[in-house]
Structure 1
Amino acid sequence: MFRVNTVGRFIRVSPYTVLSLKALCVRQQHTSSESADGYYGSLYPGHIPTTVLQKALLAVGSGVAALQNPYRHDMVAVLGETTGYPALIQLRNRMRDDPEGDIILTERPRIRLSTLDLNKMASLPDGSFGREYLRFLDDNKVTPDSRADVKFVDDEELAYVMQRYREVHDLLHTILGMPTNMLGEVAVKWFEAAQTGLPMCVLGATLGPLRLSSSRLGALFSSLGPWALQNGRGARCVLSIFYERRWEQSLEDLRGELGIQPPPLLGRASP
C-alpha cells in the first residue's frame, strides 16, 4: 500500500490498482473497431489499446509505483508509454531527418540477446564499442532482454521509437561511462531528459536526486549534472545511430561522432 501526500492529505494507492487497470485494458485488447470515444484496436503485436482516461489512470498508478521504487522497470515503462506521445513525435521526426535514423525506422532493428553475436563482441579489442558494451553487461549483471515490449503507444511507428529508446538505454550507459548505481542512473536520466524531452525522463531527472546521499548530490550538481545536460542538448539524436553496425568502432570515435564529451573522472570512479 502506497501513501501519497497531496496538499496535506494522504491518499492510499494499492499496488494492485495498476494491475487492475492493466487487466481492464487487456480485456479490450481484441476489439478492432474504433468507437466514438477514440478507442482503437490493436496496431502491432502486444499492443493494448487504451482510451485517454485509461492512459491517465495508468500514468498516475505507474507514477506512484515508480516513485516508491525507481527500479520497478515495468512501472517506469508504463509511465513512459502513457505520457510520451508528443515527445515521441519529435524524436520520430528527428530520426526521419537523419539518413541513418531513417534507415533504422525502415529496418526496425532490435537489440536483444538473440540479435547479438556475443562471441564476436567478446573477441573485439578493448576500447571498441562492442567490447565495452559487453563488459558493461557483464559487470552490471544486466541483459538487453530485460527491456519490456511497448504496449500502450497507439501508433505503430511511435511504438517502435519508444522501443528503440528503451533498448538503447544500456548503450547510453556505455557511451556515457555511467554505472547502474543511483548516481549513474540519475546522470543518464539528465542526459536523456535534455536529449529526448520524454516526461518520464524529466520526472526521473527531477526526483532521482532525492535518493542520493549528500556527497553524491554534490557530485551531481557540481560535475555530472552540468556535463549530462550540456551533452544531452548538444549531441546528435542518439536514436539515429545504427549501433548494431558500430560494434567494431572505437568508443572514443563514437562519442566524437555523437558530439559527446568523455565523462568526468568522478563519474567513472563513483561506486
Structure 2
Amino acid sequence: MIRTSVLNKSIINHAQLNIQKRPFVITTALTAIGSLLFSENNRLASQMERGELHNKLTKDNSPREDKPFFTRPEPNFPSHIPLYTYEKLLMFLGSSAGAFFHPERNEFIVALGESTAISPILRRLQTKMLSDPVGRELLRDQPRMTSTSLNLDHLRELPHNSIGNTYVRWLDREGVSPDTRVTVKYIDDPELAYIYQRYRECHDFYHAVTGLPIIIEGEISVKVFEFMNIGMPMSGLGALFAPLRLKKSQKERLYNIYYPWAIKSGLNSKPLINVYWEKILDQDVDEFREQMGIETPPDLRNLRKQYFEKLKKAKKIV
C-alpha cells in the first residue's frame, strides 16, 4: 500500500509539472511568432515609408523589374501561342483521344494536326518547296485561301471541267466553305506555320480533284492520299486508327478499294504542296490530274448507294 501511494503521488506530481510547463511552452512559441510578425510588419512599414515596397530600386537607383513565377515566351507572329514541350504533349494526348471518339469535332482535329506537325517534317516540306520554283513562289507570296480571295462567284462562271469550277461545285455539294480553315497557332517558326497553314487550306482541293466526299470513308481516303504524298503524321494516324470504329462494309471498301488507290496515287503523283492552286483555277481538271499523276478513284457515293440497295433487296427476299 505504501509503495502504491508513493507511486501514485509521483505520477500526480509529474502530470502537474507537465501542466505547468505547457502554458510556458505555448506562451513562448506565441511570443516568438508574434515578434517575428511584428518585426516583419515593421520592415514592411519601413519599406513603405521609404517608397521601396511598390517601387523597387536596384543599387544604382534604377527601377527593378519583378519577375513573375510563370512566364510564357513572346509570340513569333500575330496568331502564335507559344507552348512548352509538356503542354504540346498534353495537347497531343488529349486531342488524340478526342479525335478518336469524336471525329466530327473540328477542334480535336485541329489540335491533333498541329501537335503532330513536328519541325523535322515541316523542314522537309520546306526543303521540298525551296527546291521547286512554284514552291519558292508560294513561300514568297504566302497566299491565303478564303471565299473572298478565291472569288467563289467567279469560279462558278468558269468552264464546267475547270479546276475552279470543279472545286466550287464540290464545296456546294458538300456544304462547306474555305473560310472554315482555322489559323495556325501552335507551330513556333513563322514560315513552318505558313507551310502547315497552306497544307490545311489545300485539303478541300484534294477532295475536289479526287471527287471524294467528306463522309468518314472519303475523309480517311484523302488522309491516306495526303500522307503518302505529303507525309503529315496526323494523316498517317488517321489511316491507322480511324477505321477501327467503322462498320465491316466500310472497312471492306477502304481496305479493298480506297487504301490501294490512295497509296498508289499518293506515291506516284507529284508533290501537292507545290501546287499554286490560285493560278491554275481555269485549267482543265483532267489535264491537271494527268500532269500530276493522280488517278480518279471509284465514286464513293455510288458504291455506298449500290451497297444499300443490295442490302434492301436481301432483306425483302428474307
TM-score range, shorter chain: 0.7 to 0.9
One-letter code aligned to 2:77:
Y
One-letter code aligned to 1:44:
F
In the other structure, the counterpart of 1:35 is none
TM-superposition CA deviations, 1:222-266 (whole Å, max 9, x none): 111111011112211111010001111111111112111122345
In the other structure, the counterpart of 1:106 is 140
In the other structure, the counterpart of 2:97 is 64
One-letter code aligned to 1:71:
E
Q: How far apart, in 1, do the equivalents of 2:304 and 2:201 lie?
A: 24
Residue 235 of structure 2 is aligned to residue 201 of structure 1: yes
Q: How far apart, in 2, do the equivalents of 1:241 and 1:80 lie?
A: 21
**Equivalent residues in 2 for 1:1-271, closer than 5 Å:** 40-85=73-118, 86-266=120-300, 269-270=303-304
CA separation of 1:124 and 1:71: change in aligned 2, threshold 3 A: same
Q: How far apart, in 2, do the equivalents of 1:94 and 1:221 lie?
A: 30
User: How far apart are residue 213 of structure 1 and its match?
Assistant: 2.2
Q: Is the 8 A contact 2:213 2:300 kept in 1?
A: no
Name the count of aligned residue pairs: 235
Greater gyration radius: 2
Q: How far apart, in 2, do the equivalents of 1:222 and 1:105 lie?
A: 38
Residue 205 of structure 1: SS of its match in structure 2? helix
Q: Is the 8 A contact 1:224 1:267 kept in 2?
A: no
User: How far apart are residue 40 of structure 1 and its match?
Assistant: 3.8
User: How far apart are residue 39 of structure 1 and its match?
Assistant: 6.3
- Runs of 4+ in structure 1 off by over 3 angstroms are 265-271
Greater helix content:
2
Q: Is the 8 A contact 2:77 2:190 kept in 1?
A: yes
- List alignment gaps of at least 5 residues for structure 2: 1-70, 306-318
Superposition CA RMSD, Å = 1.8
Moved more, 236-245 or 86-95: 86-95
Q: How many percent identity over aligned positions?
A: 37
Q: Is the 8 A contact 1:128 1:248 kept in 2?
A: yes
Please give the TM-score of this superposition, normalised by the length of structure 1.
0.82
User: How far apart are residue 212 of structure 1 and its match?
Assistant: 2.5
Moved more, 191-200 or 140-149: 191-200
Q: Is the 8 A contact 1:177 1:268 kept in 2?
A: no
In the other structure, the counterpart of 2:11 is none
Moved more, 68-77 or 185-194: 68-77
Moved more, 85-94 or 121-130: 85-94
TM-superposition CA deviations, 1:99-130 (whole Å, max 9, x none): 11110011001111120222221111111110
Q: Is the 8 A contact 2:212 2:299 kept in 1?
A: no
CA separation of 1:133 and 1:198: change in aligned 2, threshold 3 A: same
Compare relative contact order (CA 8 Å, sep 6+) and give the higher one, 1 or 2.
1
Q: Is the 8 A contact 2:218 2:300 kept in 1?
A: no
One-letter code aligned to 1:61:
G
Q: How far apart, in 2, do the equivalents of 1:72 and 1:93 lie?
A: 32
Residue 185 of structure 2: SS of its match in structure 1? coil
TM-superposition CA deviations, 1:126-172 (whole Å, max 9, x none): 11110010001100100111110000001000000110010000000
Please give the TM-score of this superposition, normalised by the length of structure 2.
0.70
One-letter code aligned to 1:161:
I
User: How far apart are residue 64 of structure 1 and its match?
Assistant: 1.2
Residue 163 of structure 1: SS of its match in structure 2? helix
